[in-house]
Structure 1
């Protein structure tokens, strides 16, 4: 994977968390492993055993999106200073997207930037760990405080995915569905036939590698999201707004994005007068028990959230839409159009 500042390897495999020294390019002065309380209980000791005789420290944050805040970010800096980290130190982000974003942003800003490694432990983090976007949330919006800061490596031990809950599996597969919709019709077709809770390890590895390949290819073309990287935001305009409006944690990121994907297909059908796989996607989500009902769609609040999103331009809402599977486009829409599409989407979802 090439970025403007470095090239880094993305390694997907089994039991590779026990061989981290094979993937480190430098002899770091010290290492800080950042994880959440759920993941640390399962895998922290495995990581620490890789570095006998080296100054290795751990920092454990509360699991959940609520940890992506300024207080936890500041606490990581405090601990890094107390532990004596310097510019030759390494931060390892061991966990899902929250830990990756939080620890990555801490690494990007500690002493103006030190190396960090992404070690995803969720399906969702296959997406967030690649591409160098790191951020924390503001109470007024998601990921509004952050940076573009590529990792030194992504080391993805898929054995750690065996401990995921159904909710976390749903959340991760929503991003795989997104990547398939924007770039790979055949991949999307295979996902339509997938029972995401009973995927064999070889099939899961294949899905993850396809998703990462799509993400990496797009990021290499447009690292700082001035063009085609915006396509990766398919489903995120409404998804982020729902997450923020309902309160972080009510829906997982991927569950909110899944609803956002349906909304994007709905708007695309209306705007381009094209038949898109809305019903097929809805069937896939229902079969895999995504929460699609009982959602409080407050249209005025959601529109305001969309306008404050970092993807909006001059308070005009930008949406990624599809003219067909594999052909995304970015459109700016008026508030009145979004209001109309939201209301017709809500009607369409009732009784589904």
Structure 2
């Protein structure tokens, strides 16, 4: 079933009505966190009530620690105490942690309850709220237990990010730049001419919509991540390695991806696919957005990053499949990069 998408500035007030237009009635169970809930929970609950939903809300502690089986068990108990039924709706109101956790609970309770995503960060708007991937973490690693459970609706309201710290906004923008680089030369040119800090809400909503619709097209074609969806991992091989080797606390996901985008662009040049001037445009755009383009040697090093890339999900037969560029809007996937070239590029990205 395709995900319905709604974009705007202030459109969260119509959430309940939009859900009923999709043929859903009954009860809504809102899962949020204790940071987002007090700010946006009342508006969401009011919208659901106006549309005739009996709504309940549960706030988990904010932060990655809530993405756990223990927290999922708490939510199962909460849903069971209210005798939730398959015809009810789970509404995920929050960033990526809440979206992943609520999505996992919706996918597994009663073998599947309808899910609605209302993301409240730029990163979750353009990434985790679309695509259907849900998961919780284990002590052995991130996202090791999960399910594919696409939301019936993802509602993107740029008004929900008005109070976000600028660092969070910039980190999310790395995924917007990535999407433009792999799919959309016109969007890339637009991002190159209008600084993030100067974007008005309506124009930001338009850019986010174009970004999300690119991802939705790819996900619709490859819902189980077995083919073309791999292109969405441009910049993520080194990005994920930087996140992991720094303990997932030094860099936000989008900041690590930004460094990974520089690495992938430079590897594209070294492999003979991409003009150096295009790689420089990508790096310059990231820097002007306020994103890091080098990693701090205080927290990680080239050896650790290179070792971690070998555990990437794109590894096959002990060879990393690198997502690279031929040009803006043209992707190539290869496992034929020499270890020396990869090492040269990663070592050159250390911050001096």
Give the TM-score normalised by structure 2: 0.90
Cα deviation digits, residues 261-286 of structure 1 (max 9, x gap): 11111111111253242222222222
Distance 1:320 1:177 in 2: 15
**Which stretch of structure 1 is more off in the superposition, 68-77 or 91-100?**
68-77
Other structure's SS at 2:275 match: coil
Q: Mark the CA change 1:144 to 1:300 in structure 2 (over 3 Å): closer, same or farther.
A: farther
CA RMSD of aligned residues (A): 2.1
Other structure's SS at 1:63 match: coil
Is 1:257 aligned to 2:257, yes or no?
yes
Distance 2:218 2:236 in 1: 17
Matched residues, number = 344
**Which stretch of structure 1 is more off in the superposition, 11-20 or 258-267?**
11-20
Other structure's SS at 2:91 match: strand
Asked if 2 retains the 8 angstrom alpha-carbon contact of 1:65 and 1:248, the reply is no
Asked if 2 retains the 8 angstrom alpha-carbon contact of 1:39 and 1:94, the reply is yes
Distance 1:102 1:36 in 2: 11
Asked if 1 retains the 8 angstrom alpha-carbon contact of 2:264 and 2:324, the reply is yes
Cα deviation digits, residues 34-84 of structure 1 (max 9, x gap): 112221121001111123375422121222333323332332223222332
Q: Mark the CA change 1:325 to 1:138 in structure 2 (over 3 Å): closer, same or farther.
A: farther
Q: Mark the CA change 1:96 to 1:139 in structure 2 (over 3 Å): closer, same or farther.
A: same
Asked if 2 retains the 8 angstrom alpha-carbon contact of 1:136 and 1:143, the reply is yes
Distance 1:67 1:338 in 2: 38
Asked if 2 retains the 8 angstrom alpha-carbon contact of 1:105 and 1:136, the reply is yes
Aligned pairs (5 A) from 1:317-332: 317-332=320-335
Is 1:32 aligned to 2:24, yes or no?
no
Aligned with residue 42 of structure 2, among 34, 45, 61: 45
Asked if 2 retains the 8 angstrom alpha-carbon contact of 1:131 and 1:150, the reply is yes
After TM superposition, give the deviation of residue 333 of structure 1 in Å: 5.2
Q: Mark the CA change 1:338 to 1:258 in structure 2 (over 3 Å): closer, same or farther.
A: farther
Is 1:118 aligned to 2:117, yes or no?
yes
Distance 1:302 1:68 in 2: 25
Asked if 1 retains the 8 angstrom alpha-carbon contact of 2:9 and 2:158, the reply is yes
Which position in structure 2 is the counterpart of 1:216?
A: 216
Asked if 2 retains the 8 angstrom alpha-carbon contact of 1:14 and 1:159, the reply is yes
Asked if 1 retains the 8 angstrom alpha-carbon contact of 2:222 and 2:229, the reply is yes
Cα deviation digits, residues 143-177 of structure 1 (max 9, x gap): 33222211111111221121111111111111101
Asked if 1 retains the 8 angstrom alpha-carbon contact of 2:121 and 2:168, the reply is yes
After TM superposition, give the deviation of residue 293 of structure 1 in Å: 4.7
Distance 1:338 1:136 in 2: 33
Cα deviation digits, residues 9-38 of structure 1 (max 9, x gap): 100012222222221124443221111222
Which position in structure 1 is the counterpart of 2:81?
A: 82
Structure 2 residue runs of 5 or longer lacking an equivalent are: none
Which position in structure 2 is the counterpart of 1:311?
A: 314
Asked if 2 retains the 8 angstrom alpha-carbon contact of 1:92 and 1:118, the reply is yes
Other structure's SS at 1:169 match: helix
Distance 1:305 1:71 in 2: 28
Which position in structure 2 is the counterpart of 1:21?
A: 16
Which position in structure 1 is the counterpart of 2:104?
A: 105
Distance 2:284 2:196 in 1: 13
Distance 2:223 2:146 in 1: 14
Give the TM-score normalised by structure 1: 0.90
Q: Mark the CA change 1:299 to 1:307 in structure 2 (over 3 Å): closer, same or farther.
A: same
Other structure's SS at 1:247 match: coil
Q: Mark the CA change 1:217 to 1:318 in structure 2 (over 3 Å): closer, same or farther.
A: same
Aligned pairs (5 A) from 1:147-166: 147-166=147-166
Asked if 2 retains the 8 angstrom alpha-carbon contact of 1:30 and 1:90, the reply is yes
Which position in structure 2 is the counterpart of 1:8?
A: 3
After TM superposition, give the deviation of residue 340 of structure 1 in Å: 4.3
**Which stretch of structure 1 is more off in the superposition, 180-189 or 18-27?**
18-27
After TM superposition, give the deviation of residue 319 of structure 1 in Å: 1.8
Is 1:194 aligned to 2:194, yes or no?
yes
Asked if 2 retains the 8 angstrom alpha-carbon contact of 1:138 and 1:144, the reply is yes
Asked if 1 retains the 8 angstrom alpha-carbon contact of 2:30 and 2:57, the reply is yes
Asked if 1 retains the 8 angstrom alpha-carbon contact of 2:270 and 2:341, the reply is no
Asked if 2 retains the 8 angstrom alpha-carbon contact of 1:65 and 1:249, the reply is no
Which position in structure 2 is the counterpart of 1:227?
A: 227
